[in-house]
Structure 1
Amino acid sequence: MKVGILGAGRIAATMARTLNGMKEAEAYAVASRSLEKAEAFARANHVEKAYGSYEEMLADEEVELVYIATPHSHHLEHGKLCISCGKPVLCEKSFTANAAQARELLDYAAEKKVFITEAIWTRYMPSRKMINDIIASGELGDIKMISANLGYELTDKERMLRPELAGGALLDVGVYTLNFASMVLGDDIVKMTSECVKTDTGVDGQDAIILTYRDGKLAVLHTGMWADTEQYGIIYGTKGYMIACNINNIDTIQIYSPDRHLVREIKVPEQITGYEYEVLACRRALAAGKLECEEMPHAETLRIMEWMDALRADWGVKYPFE
C-alpha cells in the first residue's frame, strides 16, 4: 500500500520511519506547502516522491492512503481536501479541533463514500487486546476505578501554546487519558468534573478530570504540558490491580495483588514505532471495503471530541476560529 504523507513535521518523520520498516506499506510520497521542505524531508526520510503542494500529491493516482500530519486546527480543511480527491484518510489525533468539525468531516466522508479514521495509535496496538483479555479473565476481579496520567514538558513547542492552532494539553496529550478510560470503562458517563490551569496564551496547561460512570465506576485523569509524569494507566479491581506503563505507547503491563505485591509482568511485542498497527488496520479495512476502522469507529471519535468540547467549555478555553 502506497502512503502519501500530508505535512512534513516531526510526527510525519515518525510515520515515514514506520512505513520504511514495513512490508505491507511504503512511504511513497510527501507533500508540503514548500517544495524545498518536501524534498528535504523526502531525502532525509527515504520517501520516493516529494510535492510542493497538497493538491499535487492528491492528484497522484498511485497514492492509496493519505496520512494527515498537520496541526489539529487544519485537520478539517486537509481531511476534506483528501476526501474531495477520493483519497482514503488516516488523520492524526486529535481528529479535529472540536466536535462540530469532526461531525462535518465524518459526514463529508460518508457522503463521498471515502474511508477515514483517526490515528489514535493506542486504539490499534496489541496492548489493547492484552489488557482486555486480562480484564475478561477475571484475574483483577470486578473493575471499580481507573487512573491515568500523561504529561510532558512541551512549552518549547510553539504550536502547543497557540490558540489559533488549537494548542493546549487536552487535544495533544489529554486525549490519550480519555481514550484509556473509554477503552477500559466504556462511555456511559453521567458526570464529568474537571479543573484546568491555563497558560499565558489562554490554552490549558494542565488538567485534572474525573469521569463518573452510571454503574458507579470512576476514572481519575490528569494531563499537562509543563512537566513529565510517570505516564501510568492503572486499573483497580476487587482482586488486584494492573499498571499499564507508558499509556500512550504501552511497553509493559504489571499485575499486582491487593497487598501490592507484583504477581507478574508482561512485555508487549516488539514494534517499529507503534504506528504500524494503525496503518495495518487501514489496510485491512480498505481491503474489506469498509469506510471506518473497527478499532476506532467514527461514533467513538465523535464522542471523545464531544467530551473535550465539554471540558473546554467548563474551562472557558475557546479557539479563535470557533
Structure 2
Amino acid sequence: MFNTVAVVGASGAVGRIILELLEERNFEAKEFRFLSSARSAGTEITFKNKAYTLQELTEDAFEGIDLVIASTPDDVAAKYLPAAVKAGATVIDESGYWRMKDEVALVVPEINPEAAINAKGIIASPNCSTTQMVLAMKPLYDISPIRRVIVSTYQATSGAGLVGTEDLIHGSQARLQGDDYQYKVFAHPIAFNAIPQIGSHKVDGYTSEEMKMVYETRKILGDPNIQVNPTCVRIPVWNCHSESITVETETPISPEQAREAFEKFPGITVVDDLDNGQYPMPSNSDGSDEVFVGRIRKDISNPNGLSFWCVSDNLRKGAATNAVQIAELLSKHRG
C-alpha cells in the first residue's frame, strides 16, 4: 500500500473517472491529494465521502507523495512530472510525452505487468486506440506470433476531450436546426460526418495518432518486427472507440481457436452472434472496463489471416482504468 497518492488533472474528463475508479475499487492509501491547473485550484471535490480542495500543480507540490497518477496535456507532463520523480514518487502518466522514451515502461497490466514492477520513475499508459488493440492481439500472439496488423479505428469525440464532445452535441443540434456552429476542436464538422485524420501529419501520409499505434504496439508486445498499418478516423459517436482489426499470424488460427483464447483472456468479453445481431457497439460498451470483441472470422484473402471487431470505452480502459490497474499492480507488489 502507498502512503500518499496524488491525482494530477483531477478535474479533467479522465481525471474524474480516475477518482471514481479509485473509490469504486477501494484503492487504499493513507492519504490522497488532488492537483489541478491554477484555474481549477481551490475547487472542492468529494472523494470517499470526504471533502478535498484541489491544489495547484507546481513543481513543489510533490513533497511526501509516493504515487502520482497524472492525466494532463503533453507539455504539462513534460514540465512537472520530472519534479515528482525527483521528489521520490512513482508516476503513472496518461499523456503521450513519455511513452516512447527508452527509459520509460509502457504498460498494459494484462500484457506486460513485469515492465511496471521493474520500472523506475515514470510509467506510461498507452494511447487509447493502442490499448484496446494490443489487449485483443495478445491472446492471439500467445498462440502464434503476429506478423502484420491492418487496423481501422472509428474514434469517439470524447477522445478529443470535453470540448470534443461539446462540438458533437452543439454541432449536431445546429445542423438539425439549420444553424451555423463554430467548431472548437475539429477542423471539419463532426456532426453527421467522418474525419479521416486524427493528429498531425507525421510520415509518408500517416498521422501522429496512426504512428502511435505502430510504435506503441511494438514496445508493449516487445516485438519490433510487427508490421502495423493503421487508419484512424473520428466519427460522430460521443464515447467508445471501435476498431476493425485483421491480423496475419505465422501459423493459421481458426475463428474457434481465437474465440476460445479471447474468452479466457482477462479484460476481454466476447460478443459474437452475427445471426442474432449480437456484436460490440459503442452504445453497449460505454461505462465498462472491458474490451469487447466480436465479428470473429477468417480473413478470406489470406490463409494466415483473422479478422475481428473490437470496441472499448476509451475514457476507461483506454485511459483511466488502465492507469488505476497499474496503480493496483504496484500497490499489490509493495505488499
Unaligned runs of 5+ in 1: 107-112, 162-166, 189-212, 290-322
Give yes or no for contact 1:68–1:78 (8 Å, CA) kept in 2.
Answer: no
Q: Which of 184, 187, 196 pairs up with 2:224?
A: 187
SS of residue matched to 1:93: coil
Q: CA deviation at 1:12?
A: 1.0
SS of residue matched to 2:45: helix
Match of 1:81 in 2: 83
Match of 1:94 in 2: 96
Output the CA distance in 2 between the equivalents of 1:267 and 1:151: 10
Output the CA distance in 2 between the equivalents of 1:225 and 1:264: 21
Q: CA deviation at 1:117?
A: 0.3
Closer, same or farther in 2 for the Cα pair 1:80/1:13, shift >3 Å?
same
Match of 1:231 in 2: 243
> Partner amino acid for 1:136?
D
Output the CA distance in 1 between the equivalents of 2:120 and 2:221: 30
Closer, same or farther in 2 for the Cα pair 1:19/1:258, shift >3 Å?
same
Closer, same or farther in 2 for the Cα pair 1:288/1:50, shift >3 Å?
same
Q: CA deviation at 1:43?
A: 3.7
Q: CA deviation at 1:231?
A: 2.2
Q: Which of 148, 153, 169 pairs up with 2:151?
A: 148
Match of 1:293 in 2: none
Output the CA distance in 2 between the equivalents of 1:124 and 1:132: 12
Output the CA distance in 2 between the equivalents of 1:90 and 1:48: 24
Q: CA deviation at 1:146?
A: 1.2
SS of residue matched to 2:232: strand
Closer, same or farther in 2 for the Cα pair 1:235/1:93, shift >3 Å?
farther
Output the CA distance in 1 between the equivalents of 2:71 and 2:311: 26
CA deviation digits over 1:293-314, x for unaligned, max 9?
Answer: xxxxxxxxxxxxxxxxxxxxxx
Residue 278, structure 1, aligned to residue 323, structure 2? yes
Report the number of matched residues. Answer: 239
Unaligned runs of 5+ in 2: 106-118, 165-183, 188-197, 201-206, 260-267, 269-279, 283-288
Residue 250, structure 1, aligned to residue 253, structure 2? no
Match of 1:66 in 2: 68
Closer, same or farther in 2 for the Cα pair 1:9/1:118, shift >3 Å?
same
Q: Structure 1 residue runs of 4+, over 6 Å off?
A: 44-47, 103-106, 121-127, 226-229, 241-249, 263-270
Output the CA distance in 1 between the equivalents of 2:22 and 2:84: 20
Output the CA distance in 1 between the equivalents of 2:223 and 2:152: 18
TM-score, normalised via structure 2 length:
0.52
Match of 2:228 in 1: 219
Output the CA distance in 1 between the equivalents of 2:75 and 2:120: 21
Alignment of 1:1-322 (within 5 A): 1=2, 2-7=4-9, 8-25=11-28, 28-34=32-38, 37-40=40-43, 42-43=45-46, 49-55=52-58, 57-59=61-63, 61=64, 63-96=65-98, 102=101, 115-120=121-126, 131-138=137-144, 143-152=146-155, 153=157, 154=160, 157=164, 168=199, 170=207, 175-176=212-213, 178-180=215-217, 183=220, 186-188=223-225, 218-225=227-234, 230-237=242-249, 238-240=252-254, 250-259=291-300, 273-274=316-317, 275-285=320-330, 288=333
> Partner amino acid for 2:16?
A
Give yes or no for contact 1:149–1:231 (8 Å, CA) kept in 2.
Answer: yes
SS of residue matched to 2:291: coil
Q: CA deviation at 1:281?
A: 2.8
SS of residue matched to 1:133: helix
Q: CA deviation at 1:269?
A: 12
TM-score, normalised via structure 1 length:
0.54
Q: CA deviation at 1:144?
A: 4.4
Aligned CA RMSD, in angstroms, stands at 5.1
Give yes or no for contact 1:174–1:222 (8 Å, CA) kept in 2.
Answer: no
Output the CA distance in 2 between the equivalents of 1:24 and 1:135: 32
Closer, same or farther in 2 for the Cα pair 1:249/1:49, shift >3 Å?
same
